[in-house]
Structure 1
Amino acid sequence: MDRVSRDNKEKNRQHYNKLYADYSIRNILIWLKDLDSFLDGACATETSWHALYQDGFKDRLEDKKVMEMGCGDCVNAAMMAGLGAEVYANDIAEASGEIINKLNQAWEFKYPIKFVKGDFLKNNLEAGKFDFVVGKAFLHHLTLPEEKEFLRETARLLKPEGEARFFEPAVNSRILDEIRWMIPVKGRPSKLNRKKFIEWKENDPHPDRSFSSLHFKNVGTAFFKFVKIKPVGTLERFNRLIPRGKHNIRYRRWAFKAEQNIPLLINTYLTRSQLIVYKEPLQ
C-alpha cells in the first residue's frame, strides 16, 4: 500500500473513532422495535436508504450472509440484522466495534452481529462466503489504489450468485460540483471562505478522487461481469432550499418519485448520488 493510502487510512481511523466515541444506541433500539416503519420512512425521504434498499433489498436479506464495509455508526448493520441477515460488520474504527457489542447485548438478533476489526483487506475471510457485500457511503473514503484492492477482495468474498451494493456520491457535472462547494453546509464552510475552507479540507477524511459514474462503471468491470449504476437524488438535492419540517419531507418524497421520469442521460449528469450494483464476480 502506498504512503498516501496509509496516511488516508489512519486519518479515517482517527476521525471516526472520535466521531463514534461513546455513541448512544438508544435511537437504534427504538427503530428496531418498529423496523418496517423506520425503513419505510427512511427509504422514502433519505437518499442513502432510498438508494441502497431499492430492488426489494429489504425482502432479500433473511438468512443471508452480509458483509458491510465501513459500518460506522452501525445503524444499517443493525437494520439488516433486524431483518434476519447474518451480518459481518467491518470498520477501521474500533469505536464501531464497541457499538456492535452494545447492540448485541441489548437486542436479540436472529444472528448476533459479528464485528470484523480493522483493515478489511487483512482479515483473510473465507472466499465465496457472502451473499451480499454492502457499503453505505464507503468507497469514496478510499484512494483509487485502495478502492481497486477492496473491489478485488469483494469479488473474492462473494458467492458466484452474490451481489455487491454501494451507495456513493456522484460527481458527473463540474459546474454543479463547483456550485456545491460554494454553498456552506453543517460542518463544511463555503469554498469562498478560502481560509476556513483550507482548514476544513486539511482535516477532511475523504481523499481527492473521482466520484463519476463512469469511473465506478470502469473499475467495476475489472472484477464483475454485471455492472449497474443508478442515479439517485437529482431533484432531492434541492431539499436544502426548503426549511426542515413537513414541507421538506413532502418535497423529498415527491422528488424521489419524480426523478425516475427524467431521461437517464440527463439524470446521470445532474445526479447527486448513485446506487452501484456489481454482480457475477470474475474469479
Structure 2
Amino acid sequence: MKEYEQNQQKNKEHYEKVYANYNLNNILYWLNNLEGYLDFVTNYETSWSALYQNDFRNRIKGKKVLEMGCGDCNNAAIMAALGARVYANDIASTSGKIVEQLNGSFDFSHPIVFVEGDFLNNDLASGSFDFVIGKAFLHHLSLPVEREFLKETARLLKTDGEARFFEPAVNSKLLDELRWYIPIGNRPSKFRGEAFRKWKEEDPHPDRSFSSAHFKKAVNEFFEECLIKPVGTLDRFRNLIKNRKWNGRYAKWALKNEQKLPLFLNSKFARSQLIVGKLPLK
C-alpha cells in the first residue's frame, strides 16, 4: 500500500494546484445554457459523446449519482443541473471549494454533495447509488488499486445500478507507440528525449494497461455484465488539424461516421472507450 499512498499523494498535490484558482464563469455559463451546451459537447467532444450515450442525460433525472474523481466538477454540475442527486468525490480539497461555490451560484434541484478524500475510505451506505461515474479516472490508478475501486463501486451500487467509465483505449501497440511522438498540450514529443523523460517523471499517471480486454476482465470480477463501446477511431487524428474551425468540423464528422466502421476496426484502433458495468455482484 506504500506505493498506493505515494501515488495518491502525488495526485493530490498535482490536482490541488490545477484547481486552486479555477474560474467558475465557464461552468455557470454552460449551466445556464444547458441543452445547447450538451448538444454541442456530445457531438464534438469524445469524452462527453461516450459518457452520455444511450440517453444518459435523461436517465439520471432524480437518480442518485456518485462521480469519482470529479476534478473541476464540470460534469458533476451538469448532472446536477439535469436533475440528478449528485455526490462528487475527489482527493483534492480544492474540488470541494468548487462544489461550494457552484451550490451558492446556481439553483440546483439537489445541491451537489462533496465527498472529500480517498474513495476507498468513504462512509457511504452500501447499495445506495443508481450510478457510479468515472470520467477519465480509472487510468490514474495502478492495477491492484483499480481492483479495489471496482469492488467498492459494486458495493455502493443498487442491485439494478450501473457503473459508467470513460477511459483511454490501447488495443494497438503500434498506434500506442506512435502517439508518444506527437506533442499534445504540455506533453512533448518522444523525439525530444530529455524533455519527454522529465515530463514522464512528473506525470501522475502510472504505467498500466488500457486495453479493452483488461477492463472487461477487471469489471466482470464484480459485475455480471460488462459492455465496452470503443470511441474515437477517427477522432484520434483531429490533433493533426491545427485550424480551429476545421478541427471542430472534423471532430463532429469523425464521431458520427466512425459508427459506420466495422466493430473489429473500432475495437482495434479506438483511442478511448465507454465501459459499462451492470448487475453488481454482492
> Structure 1 residue 191: deviation in Å?
1.2
Q: Is the aligned partner of 1:182 residue 2:181?
A: yes
1:261 maps to 260
**Unaligned stretches of 5+ residues in structure 2:** none
Equivalents in 1 of 2:9, 2:39: separation in Å? 36
Q: 1:115-143: CA deviations, max 9, x gaps? A: 00000111121000000000100000011
> Structure 1 residue 249: deviation in Å?
1.3
2:192 maps to 193
CA RMSD of aligned residues (A): 0.7
Equivalents in 2 of 1:12, 1:268: separation in Å? 30
Q: 1:165-224: CA deviations, max 9, x gaps? A: 000000111100110001111100111211111111111010000000000000011000
Equivalents in 2 of 1:195, 1:9: separation in Å? 26
Amino acid across the alignment from 1:268: S
Equivalents in 1 of 2:43, 2:245: separation in Å? 13
> Structure 1 residue 245: deviation in Å?
2.5
Q: Is the aligned partner of 1:74 residue 2:73?
A: yes
What count of residue pairs does the alignment treat as equivalent? 282
Equivalents in 1 of 2:82, 2:4: separation in Å? 35
Q: Is the aligned partner of 1:62 residue 2:58?
A: no
Farther-moved stretch of structure 1 (254-263 vs 148-157): 254-263
Equivalents in 1 of 2:257, 2:3: separation in Å? 41
1:99 maps to 98
2:143 maps to 144
> Structure 1 residue 250: deviation in Å?
1.3
CA distance change for structure 1 residues 268 and 11 in 2, over 3 Å: closer, same or farther?
same
Equivalents in 1 of 2:11, 2:244: separation in Å? 33
1:122 maps to 121
**Unaligned stretches of 5+ residues in structure 1:** none
> Structure 1 residue 244: deviation in Å?
3.6
Q: Is the aligned partner of 1:8 residue 2:7?
A: yes
Amino acid across the alignment from 1:22: N
Amino acid across the alignment from 2:96: G
TM-score norm. by structure 1 comes to: 0.98
Matches within 5 A, 1:1-283: 2-283=1-282
Equivalents in 2 of 1:120, 1:185: separation in Å? 30
Q: 1:212-263: CA deviations, max 9, x gaps? A: 0000000011000010010000001111111242222111111111111111
Equivalents in 2 of 1:198, 1:239: separation in Å? 25
Task: State the percentage of identical aligned residues.
Answer: 60
TM-score norm. by structure 2 comes to: 0.99
Equivalents in 2 of 1:244, 1:143: separation in Å? 37
Equivalents in 1 of 2:186, 2:245: separation in Å? 24
Amino acid across the alignment from 2:251: R
Equivalents in 2 of 1:266, 1:23: separation in Å? 39
List 4+ stretches of structure 1 deviating above 6 A. none
Equivalents in 1 of 2:223, 2:30: separation in Å? 35
Amino acid across the alignment from 1:181: W
> Structure 1 residue 90: deviation in Å?
0.1
